[in-house]
Amino acid sequence: MHPAEFPGRPCPVCQGVRQAPIVRLTGLQIIAGNWSYRQSNWSWHEAFLSHAFPIGRCADCGFVYAGTELPETFLDYVYDELIDCHAARREAFSITSLANRMSYLSILFRLISPPAKILDFGCGFGATLSLMANVAGIGSVGFETSPRRATELRAGGYAIEDNLAALRDHAPFSGLILDNVLEHLPNPWETVSFLRELCAQGGVIYVSVPDGHGLYSSSSAPIVKGGQPAPMELNPWEHLNYFTVEHLDRMMASAGFSPIRQAGLPSEVAIGLRPDRNVTRRLKNTLASVHRSLRYGLTGDALRNVNRRFYRAAGTAG
């Protein structure tokens, strides 16, 4: 297995094959910038460390994606051997991570009507499943393709499936969770369409993906072009797709999901004010927040962020 033999990957949105390059990352840059990787576990051929893996923009539809199609044997190595599972599990169950999960679960619970069944698609180490385990009126099912993690979760008493077809036996779901999953999938459009078939009418899906626009439009690209370690979110081995709000909404709409505006969420409306000791940055942030407040008054939306997006099935917008 040599990386030069890996085929090019078409655009997952339009299947176009013309890609305008944004950045090319060597295996060494990818590994060095990722805290979850075993830094000494570089047992593959030296070619993987020096080979450049591209991330670029589709010349036809503008979507940003990793341009190399990676074989399953290579991906199995990355997810099951290169990743330090103990470190990744500690992060998943950290206070910060659990607090974030509780935050979006509190909104999801109030958007659906119990009794309800929720699918955590790509449940990882089961951190979100553990939070839902003892909530009255909430049943949960996890989907996980890693044999090691699926086995561990079943041993812990969780309902886990590792086969897509088997999920149909648990449907319909009132709620679905896609927490940092879609960026990893070779064909996210197909997955979302499949999940729509499992979702009850009026069901709610929570989606979180890294902010693709912020990654490739900020200082990240110049840094990695200079040979420095890549930010772990900019990773063509794991993160195959880089979403903006527009592309994410378009994909969800094509499958029958409508975005729930902030005015329709059972939570306080965020306009983007954040603490900062620097007066100039505070003033710039305040002006931007005034613009967001006006947008909220006109459209019912203030901040639109791919890190936290809720959608409702059957085309009913919030």
For each of the chain's 318 residues, which pLDDT tens digit applies? 788 889 999 999 999 999 998 889 999 999 988 999 987 656 666 778 889 999 999 999 999 999 999 998 888 888 888 899 999 999 999 999 999 999 999 999 999 988 999 999 999 999 999 999 999 999 999 999 988 899 999 999 999 999 999 999 999 999 999 999 999 999 999 999 999 999 999 999 999 999 877 666 555 667 677 778 888 889 999 999 999 999 999 999 999 999 999 889 888 888 888 888 898 889 988 888 888 889 888 888 888 889 999 999 975 444
Question: Residue 187: which domain range?
Answer: 104-209+257-262+306-312
Which pLDDT does position 217 carry in this prediction?
57
62 and 49 part of one domain: yes
Q: Flag whether 54 is in a domain.
A: yes
89 is a domain residue: no
Q: Is residue 7 part of a domain?
A: yes
> Both 146 and 65 in a single domain?
no
Angle at 216 between CA 212 and CA 218, to 5 degrees: 110
Query: Does 146 lie in the same domain as 116?
Result: yes
Is 298 a domain residue? no
Query: Are 258 and 311 in contact, with CB atoms under 8 Å apart?
Result: yes
242-262: b or e for each residue (b if 16 or more CB lie within 10 Å)? Answer: bbbbebbbebbeebbbbbbbb
Question: Same domain, yes or no, for 124 and 198?
Answer: yes
225 and 200 within one domain: no
The answer on 60 and 35 residing in a single domain is yes
Residues 72 and 113 reside in one and the same domain: no
User: Residue 141: beta bridge partners?
Assistant: 119
What is the distance between the alpha carbons of residues 167 and 219, in angstroms, rounded to a whole number? 41
Look at the chain and report how many structural domains it folds into: 2
**Predicted local confidence at residue 132, as pLDDT:** 97
Yes or no: say if 57 and 11 are a contact pair by the CB < 8 Å rule.
no
The whole-number pLDDT of residue 240 equals: 95
The answer on 162 and 71 residing in a single domain is no
* Residues 132 and 168 grouped into a single domain: yes
Task: Please tell me whether residues 201 and 220 are part of one structural domain.
Answer: no
For residue 170, the model assigns a pLDDT of: 96
> pTM for this structure?
0.91
Residue 93 included in any domain: no
34 with 64, same domain? yes
Q: Are residues 186 and 147 in the same domain?
A: yes
* 41 assigned to some structural domain: yes
